[in-house]
Amino acid sequence: MLSVQFGVSIFGVVITVTAFMAGLGIGSLIAIRWIHLFARPLAMFAIIESSIALYALLLPGILKTIDVWMDHAARQLSLTQWYGLQGGTAFCLLTIPACAMGAGFPLILKAAEQIPLSLGKLYGLNTLGATLGALFPLWSLPLMGWNNSLQVAAALGLAIGAAAWRFSRRFRPLPEVDAAPLRPPLHLLLFYAGVGAASLALEVGWVRLYGMVMLRTEYVLAVILATYLLGIALGSLLAPQSAKPWLLILPPLIAGGFTLASLWGLPTVSGWVERQEFQSLAKALWMQALILSLFTLPVTLTLGIWLPLLTQRFSNSNAGGAWLYGANALGAACGSLAAGFVGIPTMGTTATVATAGVALTIFGLSWSRPPRYIWLTLPVMGLWALPVWQMPPVHDLLPQTQGLSNDLYFHEDAVSLTHVIRRPDGQRLLLTDLQRMDASSDPSAVQIQADQARLALLLHPSPHAVLFLGLGTGISVIGSAPFPDLEREAVEISQGAIFAAHHWFSPINGNAMHETRIYRDDARHFLSATSRRYDVIIGDLFHPDLAGLSSLLSVQQFQRVRARLSDDGVFVQWLALNQFDTQSLDTVLRSFRRAFSNGRMFMDGMHLALVGTARESADAVAITQNLQRLPMSVREAATGDEGKWTWLGRYWGAIPDSIGPVQDEWAPFIEFRLPQARYAGELDLEKLLTGLIDRRPDTNAAMKSLGVAPVDHEAFERAYAASELIARAWVASLAGTDMESVRLTWLAYQANPHDRWIANGLADNMLRLLPQAVQHGLSERAALLRILRISPTDSETLRALWHLEQSMGNRQDAERYRSRLLALSPLDREAAAPEAHSR
């Protein structure tokens, strides 16, 4: 639920955990004061459990009503205020049922006085059930979605309430007593509250760390929470009946030691996950849960042991256990808040986890009164924590893909982790949350990012204001450079990405950030809050299977965008085809069509552009008008030197009307579907491309839709045919029929030599066949020059010519090719090296 508001950030986790633990603590402490008045505690528990279930059934309707109000409130609030309002509202909505759950624990303990079942066994069974509950979403969410899963859980709650009511009749009424049960010593409650604070700070930190290296989906929290609860359940169930002194001393040392071990083992876990190729989502989750347990289970076992041991040692009554439970839960709420809003933003996640581990040891030893020499373990633990205080470098966390990289920049806050790394060839990568590559400085990647702006701006007859939803490296902004009198604005929630665009990618984005007004904001909030309307809005590429991000492809988000378009405005949402299966892509298309009934598709390489306009428009006319108003000197640059017909030839038809689910913020689909599709091998790019080719309209229908004038039919037909031929060439390559791919690429080039994708593909083929060309009598220089004529910006061809001329002693020609390579790729380490100039 909270991922709608907070996306992938730790906010949703913190607010959820804080609300639940605060509610459990408050409910338990209130109930223990009144427990002596209830003659039938199990009957009261039945009423409470049924009430919680009924509340859960009402919750979606409450949320939808509040969401409308939130959108209106966003106009008067800053991002921080908006997050605060949302977080506070969510906290209240979740604390209400959590208080009732907390009150249920003393009631069960009171009822259990009539049966021979210890507090440890009750608490262990309850937490074991919680483990199963945490795993329930792994089955229910992809099968039935969020709303139906909630209804099933509520139905289960009603069944439990009914069963508890029936069984309450089998118990004799308990006699009333005059006073509430005596509470344990205050210092004990405070120490155990400290354990709760440290343990939940630890859980929040583990969610960030292991979520970063594992599957960043809706399922990660379920896996981490289940392993966490399983350890507590087993510890409580296995707790010995007698609290011997050493049993109180040993657990704190184990908890602190294994917490630090989890940090030392993080690179090992990350490298293991990177190397695995799982055959299904279920296997991936189970295997990751298993390896996660190796580090977390020893810690959580000790957390489970403490409650029954402390109850035996200092209270010896179930009522005392309820007091301890309430104090621990309230401390846990405070620890969650401290970790999410203080520890992680100021110290970082690894430092927060290390601090939590040391704090667990200190609070755990405080009530056991150990020998003085035991306290000497604390400075040893501190020294052991120093090497893992900071986040490990990327080359340690991703040894396969980034093993030879160097970290240039790292930023962490409660929203995300941002890395800028340099590969051995000198190119820079922007990584968000480690596994998500947002952008690269590679020449081909630069063109892809620039194209995001080019298409959108070309389709508007006279754009004056453009909004980028997502900034990344800022490279996409350079595609807007040729368009005069253009006001550029961008919305980016990651402070690390904003800094990186300004300082680490400025050689590539041409310092375009100085000409762009950047808002650090959530795209949803910004669109709800601003009253400005834009001629062009561009939705950046992102990973839709990450928790919360799919809401950027929801019906509601597309409707917000439409409300911010000018009368003749254009919106383009980019999708990376390799991230979708057919079912998920169709879901996004249906969602887009709900907001833009005139939606169309264009395909640029392996990226699909969903184009929506505020009103009907003939795109050929719009592009022609737009280019005619530009000075001759920049017209070619505006199209990326590909010409208007190349861009119009990438038209892929109107978005079809189909039957099936849509991506709704309150009924999400694709973030549950995509992880399963990925691990089941259903992200089949060959199949997806084939389906898109099959549904593409014929040439006549395309010309009619785009408003192509009769005099331009031939130019359009050639570009239109070329774009389909290159797509078929990609399908052939994916199918393993390389010679067919080469043949189709050559035909595509003959139809439209201006298409950069086609020229690059042909150049790649020719480079691969270069040895054969030399064997047939063509000189290497002549072959390379032929490739360069086809693709003047092919970096590897320029590199090969530079090396060839250099080896032959032609220093002037060699320097010319090196300079062209450096202009194309300013961060290329070889071309920019000082010795390259001297050579």
**Of 270-284, 567-581, 598-612, where does mean pLDDT reach its minimum?**
270-284
For the ranges 474-483, 629-638, 665-674, 716-725, the one whose mean pLDDT is highest: 716-725
241: burial class by Cβ within 10 Å (0-12, 13-18, 19+)? exposed
Of 118-127, 150-159, 166-175, 271-280, the poorest mean pLDDT is in 166-175
Q: Residue 613's beta-bridge partner residues?
A: 570
- The Cα 498–Cα 490 span in angstroms is 10
Could you tell me the pLDDT band of residue 499, with boundaries at 50, 70 and 90? very high
Question: Which DSSP symbol is given to 544?
Answer: T
Percent of the chain with pLDDT over 70: 95
Arithmetic mean of pLDDT, 411-435? 89
Count other Cβ atoms within 10 Å, centred on residue 277.
6
| 279 — pLDDT class (breaks 50, 70, 90) | confident
As given in the structure block, the two tokens for residue 450 are: 């620039």
Q: How far is CA 533 from the centre of its chain?
A: 29
Q: What is the pLDDT of residue 215?
A: 62
pLDDT band at 566 (very low <50, low <70, confident <90, very high): very high
Between vectors from CA 520 to CA 563 and to CA 489, what angle results, nearest 5°? 55
| Helix or strand (DSSP H, E) at 308 | helix 281-314
What is the pairing mode between strands 487-492 and 465-469?
parallel
Q: What is the pLDDT of residues 391-416, one digit of tens each?
A: 999 999 999 989 999 999 999 988 88
For residue 667, CA distances in Å to 64, 672, 744 come to 11, 11, 43
Going by pLDDT thresholds of 50, 70 and 90, the confidence category of residue 803 is: very high
Cβ atoms 416, 526 nearer than 8 A: no
Nearest-5° Cα angle at 349, 551 to 22: 70
Nearest to 537 by CA among 595, 496, 606, 618: 595
End-to-end CA distance of the chain, in Å?
Answer: 61
Mean pLDDT of 469-498: 92
Q: Which pair of structure tokens corresponds to residue 599?
A: 């939606």
pLDDT of 153 over the 80 cut: yes
pTM reported for the whole predicted model: 0.89
Average pLDDT, the chain: 88
Q: Which amino acid is at 308?
A: P
Q: What is the mean pLDDT of residues 37-47?
A: 85
Tokens of 194: 């400290």
Could you give the dihedral angle defined by the CA atoms of residues 136, 139, 143 and 145, in that order, rounded to the nearest 10 degrees? Answer: 30
With bands split at pLDDT 50, 70 and 90, how would you rate the model's confidence at 432? confident
The CATH architecture one would assign to domain 443-705 is: 3-Layer(aba) Sandwich (3.40)
**Strand 465-469 relative to strand 534-539, pairing:** parallel
DSSP code at position 718: H
Question: What are the pLDDT digits (tens) for 334-365?
Answer: 999 999 989 999 999 999 999 999 999 999 88
pLDDT at 315: 65
Average pLDDT estimate for 700-728: 95
Q: Which of 202-216, 421-435, 715-729 has the largest mean confidence?
A: 715-729
Give the pLDDT mean for 430-454: 87
The pLDDT assigned to 704 comes to 93
Q: Please give the pLDDT value at position 456.
A: 94
Q: Which pLDDT score, from 0 to 100, does residue 179 have?
A: 54
The domains spanning 3-388 and 731-838 adopt the same CATH topology: no
772 contacts: CB under 8 Å, gap ≥ 6: none
pLDDT of residue 207: 85
Q: Residue 731: its pLDDT value, please?
A: 96
Question: What DSSP line would sit under 807-819, residue for residue?
Answer: HTT-HHHHHHHHH
- HEC-encoded secondary structure of 443-487: HHHHHHHHHHHHHHHHCCCCCCEEEEECCCCCHHHHHHCCCCCCE
Largest CA distance in the chain: 107
Q: Dump pLDDT digits (tens) for 188-214.
A: 889 889 999 999 999 899 888 888 887
β-pairing, 600-604 with 651-654? antiparallel
Q: What's the CA gap between 497 and 334, in Å, rounded?
A: 30
> Which amino acid does the sequence have at 154?
A
- Got the DSSP string for 138-149? HHHHHHHHHHHH
User: Higher-confidence residue: 304 or 538?
Assistant: 538
Over residues 62-91, the mean pLDDT reads 79
Structure tokens at 672: 């549950």
* pLDDT digits 0-9 by tens, 301-333: 988 888 888 877 776 666 778 888 899 999 999
pLDDT score, position 317: 66
Tokens representing residue 329 in the block: 């839960």
Question: Three-state SS for 696?
Answer: coil
More confident site: 242 or 675: 675
Decide the pairing of beta strands 534-539 and 565-576: parallel
| Residue 335 one-letter amino acid | G
Residues 468 and 527 sit within 8 Å (Cβ to Cβ) = no
pLDDT at 285 over 90: no
How far is the C-alpha of 245 from the C-alpha of 228, rounded, in Å?
A: 26
Length of the chain, in residues: 839
Q: Which numeric CATH code is attached to 731-838?
A: 1.25.40.10
The reported pLDDT for the residue numbered 176 is 60
d(CA 268, CA 726): 42
Predicted local distance difference test score (pLDDT) of residue 295? 81
Q: How far apart are CA 169 and CA 166, in angstroms?
A: 6
Instruction: Write the pLDDT tens digit of every residue in 257-268.
Output: 999 999 999 999
Please give the C-alpha separations between residue 562 and each of 66, 479, 526, 555, 719, in angstroms, as whole numbers.
22, 23, 13, 11, 30
Closest CA to 388 of 267, 482, 566, 276: 267
Pairing verdict, β 406-412 and 417-422: antiparallel
Q: What angle do CA 759, 601, 613 make, to 5 degrees?
A: 125
Question: What contacts 525, CB < 8 A, 6 or more positions away?
Answer: 74, 79, 82
Structural domain spans, the chain: 3-388, 443-705, 731-838
Q: For residue 559, what is the DSSP state?
A: H
Q: Note the pLDDT of residue 839.
A: 52
Q: How many CB atoms lie within 10 A of CB 423?
A: 18
pLDDT band at 217 (very low <50, low <70, confident <90, very high): low
Mean pLDDT of 61-88: 78
Using 50, 70 and 90 to split pLDDT, how confident is the model at 7? Answer: low
Of all residues in the chain, the percent with pLDDT exceeding 90 is 54
> pLDDT-based confidence at 697, cuts 50/70/90?
very high
**Residues 275-282: contacts with CB within 8 Å, 24+ apart?**
275/400, 278/679, 279/679, 279/681, 280/676, 280/679, 280/680, 281/219, 281/675, 281/676, 281/678, 281/679, 281/680, 282/138
Domain 3-388, architecture per CATH: Up-down Bundle (1.20)
Per-residue pLDDT at 286 exceeds 80: yes
Sorting pLDDT into bands at 50, 70 and 90, what band is 541?
confident
CA dihedral for 262, 268, 272, 273, sign (positive or negative): positive
pLDDT at 223 over 90: no
